[in-house]
């Protein structure tokens, strides 16, 4: 059962959270107050706040409090730092909202400005965001020469006159347990199109590329120690909070600040994390080791700590979670036999956009650890994907070879299938576990197809074609394989094509699209795709309509195959066989 969204409109009332709130209508320019955040260690630091102006749109959509921030904590941080998002801001001793965006305008670039998301929209968790907001005619901001507010993703190099530019105080992505290569994979994302596979026929084009964190607007993706040696603080306004996508041997998450706590309920960030609405992420403790006053954008350097509950709402106005409920997750375990043994185990959130990418990065990391090198080899893999919504577990074995980087090949097919299952059109697979075992040989276990021959020059429908395939092992001996295949008696085509090839093949233009009517059909289709240790001899016919149009489209008629366990079969040889009347 999916967790219910627990923030109701009734919570907007002042005092329900055990806090006093100040509404946007009560806030006036010149008001002074303070904010809370952790700059280093376990001490919550105070920074000073002065209201510059108010953006009060009709309703509560896109309302902001424009503030100037100052004080020792701001000076030490080098301004408003990534990770400060969610820092509670108090005016007249009442909670006004959460610091959520840094800002600047052309006439004053020195003193840090920020935008505060009002507390009431956070409680309601509004869903929409306009990129550009007009400044009302009666706004006091116009007296400062500000005529519009432009919301951007990153700090601009130039600011046009009369424009207040604001950008999210982005939460830094914190990763532990992965090497620089694993982190780079998460930053860059994964393009499945680089791997030729008939599985791609089941994926729409938009689903064939998994975006990385850089494409999602996270400018700071950094490695952090798995354990900071510092006990994470309890949740309280101004304390650090973590949101994790994976826990265990590798941790991927984000670091921000708590805005409000009531019993088991937590509000934080003041802006979205991944903007997924209803979600199921890990809510964790966090530690801030230090705040770095970087040249581009200052940021908090810290670590994700223990899992304390779940994050279930991720919307424009902020994130919300509970400490009394853990989200469902998927257990992954990757074992590798190589130059040495490697093992990686983790829990990954049930989020289709990130599960395949996180699994793939973990698989490459496990291979790199076991091999202690980047280089060629042959890898045999066996993986098992289980789910409460699957008709049965999917179990598949395959073999891959690379002359340059074998680690990137071992987990790709399983990751692609995870992507396919997560977005299948039939029902939620409710994935629960993914296990992958890999055995790596530093050499090349391969079989090359050299030649294909038949005994006759012409055949008729109904005939049996006897063929011979010549193959050679990698730097080894040559041998011949014999077999036969039947031409259907009712086949109406001017000629047939006999082809010998290794591994799976992509769909020919004349092949019909697979007809899948259930999740069981999807699993059967995957089971039927030849593995890379398979040699196939297939008979193709010509689509007559395409022949009339001047382009011969082939479609498969029948095939025979043979496996060579542990060897990658490669190469392709074709023969055109005319059919007599």
pLDDT score for 138: 46
- Asked if 452 and 429 sit in the same domain, the reply is no
Cβ neighbors of 104 (< 8 A, separation 6 or more) are 113, 155, 159, 164, 165
CA–chain centroid gap for 517, Å, is 28
- Asked if 493 and 545 sit in the same domain, the reply is yes
- Closest Cα to residue 508, out of 458, 572, 555? 555
Question: Is residue 3 included in any domain, yes or no?
Answer: no
- Asked if 189 and 92 sit in the same domain, the reply is no
- Please give the radius of gyration of the chain, using alpha carbons only, rounded to the nearest integer: 30
- Asked if 18 and 147 sit in the same domain, the reply is yes
Q: Distance between CA atoms of 257 and 235, rounded to whole angstroms?
A: 9
- For residue 307, the cross-strand partners are 284
- Asked if 212 and 351 sit in the same domain, the reply is no
Q: Give me the domain span that covers residue 83.
A: 9-168
Q: Distance between CA atoms of 529 and 522, rounded to whole angstroms?
A: 11
Question: Is residue 421 included in any domain, yes or no?
Answer: yes
Q: What is the pTM of this model?
A: 0.80
Question: Is residue 4 included in any domain, yes or no?
Answer: no
Q: Distance between CA atoms of 579 and 496, rounded to whole angstroms?
A: 7
Q: Distance between CA atoms of 41 and 291, rounded to whole angstroms?
A: 10
Domain boundary among 374, 406, 441: 441
- Asked if 22 and 164 sit in the same domain, the reply is yes
Question: Is residue 1 included in any domain, yes or no?
Answer: no
Q: Distance between CA atoms of 387 and 155, rounded to whole angstroms?
A: 43
Domain boundary among 145, 168, 191: 168
- Asked if 55 and 200 sit in the same domain, the reply is no
**CATH number of the structural domain spanning residue 13:** 2.40.10.10
- Asked if 85 and 191 sit in the same domain, the reply is no
- Beta-carbon count within 10 A of 478 CB: 11
- Asked if 58 and 151 sit in the same domain, the reply is yes
DSSP annotation of 47 reads: E
Q: Are 399 and 412 within 8 A, CB to CB?
A: no
Q: What are phi and psi of 523, to 5 degrees?
A: -65, -40
Question: Is residue 115 included in any domain, yes or no?
Answer: yes
- Tokens representing 342 are 């490697």
- For residue 441, the cross-strand partners are 378
In this structure, are strands 189-191 and 265-268 parallel, antiparallel, or unpaired? unpaired
Question: Is residue 16 included in any domain, yes or no?
Answer: yes
pLDDT score for 299: 52
pLDDT score for 305: 85
Question: Is residue 2 included in any domain, yes or no?
Answer: no
What is the mean pLDDT of each successive set of 10 residues along the chain, which is 581 residues long?
33 48 86 88 86 70 80 80 82 87 60 80 47 46 55 54 57 84 92 87 82 78 62 86 92 88 87 86 84 54 85 87 91 92 93 93 95 93 97 97 94 96 93 97 95 92 96 94 95 93 93 92 96 97 77 92 96 93 62
- Vertex 301, ends 297 and 304: CA angle to 5°? 130
- Asked if 183 and 238 sit in the same domain, the reply is yes
pLDDT score for 3: 36
- Beta-carbon count within 10 A of 223 CB: 13
**Alpha helices per DSSP H over 235-393:** 355-371
- Asked if 20 and 158 sit in the same domain, the reply is yes
- Closest Cα to residue 380, out of 413, 415, 426, 333? 413
Cβ neighbors of 558 (< 8 A, separation 6 or more) are 485, 486, 488, 538, 539
SS3 content of the chain, % helix, strand, coil (to 5): 15, 45, 40
- Closest Cα to residue 417, out of 351, 496, 491, 359? 359
Query: What is the number of domains present in the chain?
Result: 4
pLDDT score for 133: 41
Domain boundary among 284, 304, 329: 329
Q: Distance between CA atoms of 259 and 240, rounded to whole angstroms?
A: 10
Question: Is residue 220 included in any domain, yes or no?
Answer: yes
- Asked if 125 and 26 sit in the same domain, the reply is yes
């Amino acid at each position: 059962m999916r967790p219910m969204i627990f923030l109701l409109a009734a919570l907007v009332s002042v005092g329900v959270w055990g806090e006093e709130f100040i509404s946007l209508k009560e806030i006036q320019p010149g008001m002074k107050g303070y904010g809370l955040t952790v700059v280093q260690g376990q001490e919550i630091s105070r920074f000073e706040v002065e209201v510059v102006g108010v953006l009060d749109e009709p309703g509560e959509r896109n309302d902001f409090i424009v503030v100037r921030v100052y004080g020792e904590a701001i000076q030490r941080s080098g301004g408003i730092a990534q990770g400060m998002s969610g820092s509670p801001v108090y005016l007249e001793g009442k909670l006004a909202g959460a610091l959520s965006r840094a800002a600047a305008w052309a006439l004053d670039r020195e003193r840090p400005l920020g935008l505060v998301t009002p507390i009431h929209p956070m409680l309601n968790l509004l869903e929409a965001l306009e990129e550009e907001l007009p400044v009302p005619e009666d706004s006091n901001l116009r007296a400062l020469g500000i005529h519009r507010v432009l919301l951007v993703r990153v700090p601009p190099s130039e600011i046009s006159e009369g424009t207040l530019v604001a950008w999210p105080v982005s939460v830094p992505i914190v990763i532990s347990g992965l090497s620089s290569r694993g982190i780079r994979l998460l930053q860059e994302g994964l393009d499945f199109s680089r791997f030729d596979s008939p599985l791609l026929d089941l994926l729409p084009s938009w689903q064939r590329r998994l975006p990385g964190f850089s494409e999602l607007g996270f400018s700071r993706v950094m490695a952090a120690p798995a354990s900071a040696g510092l006990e994470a603080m309890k949740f309280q306004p101004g304390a650090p909070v973590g949101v994790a996508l994976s826990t265990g041997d590798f941790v991927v998450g984000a670091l921000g600040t708590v805005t409000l706590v009531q019993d088991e309920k937590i509000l934080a960030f003041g802006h979205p994390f991944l903007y997924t609405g209803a979600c199921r992420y890990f809510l964790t403790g966090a530690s801030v080791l230090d705040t770095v006053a970087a040249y581009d954008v200052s940021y908090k350097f810290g670590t994700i700590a223990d899992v304390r509950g779940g994050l279930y709402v991720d919307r424009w106005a902020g994130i919300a979670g509970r400490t009394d409920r853990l989200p469902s997750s998927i257990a992954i375990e990757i074992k590798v036999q190589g130059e040495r043994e490697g093992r990686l185990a983790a829990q990954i959130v049930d989020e289709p956009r990130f599960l395949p990418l996180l699994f793939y990065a973990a698989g490459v990391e496990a291979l790199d650890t076991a091999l202690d090198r980047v280089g060629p080899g042959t890898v045999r893999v066996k993986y098992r994907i289980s789910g409460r919504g699957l008709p049965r577990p999917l179990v598949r074995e395959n073999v891959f070879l690379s002359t340059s980087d074998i680690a990137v090949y071992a987990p790709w097919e399983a990751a692609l299938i995870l992507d396919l299952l997560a977005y299948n059109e039939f029902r939620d697979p409710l994935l629960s576990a993914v296990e992958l075992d890999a055995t790596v040989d530093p050499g090349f276990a391969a079989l090359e197809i050299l030649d294909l021959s038949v005994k006759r020059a012409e055949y008729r429908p109904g005939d049996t074609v006897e063929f011979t395939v010549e193959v050679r092992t990698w730097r080894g001996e040559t041998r011949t394989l014999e077999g036969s295949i039947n031409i259907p008696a009712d086949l109406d085509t001017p000629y047939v094509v006999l082809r010998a090839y290794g591994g799976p093949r992509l769909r020919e233009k004349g092949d019909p699209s697979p007809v899948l009517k259930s999740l069981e059909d999807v699993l059967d289709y995957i089971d039927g795709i030849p593995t890379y240790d398979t040699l196939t001899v297939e008979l193709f016919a010509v689509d007559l309509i395409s022949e009339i149009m001047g382009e011969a489209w082939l479609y498969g008629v029948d095939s025979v195959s043979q496996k060579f366990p542990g060897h990658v079969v490669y190469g392709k040889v074709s023969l055109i066989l005319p059919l007599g009347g």
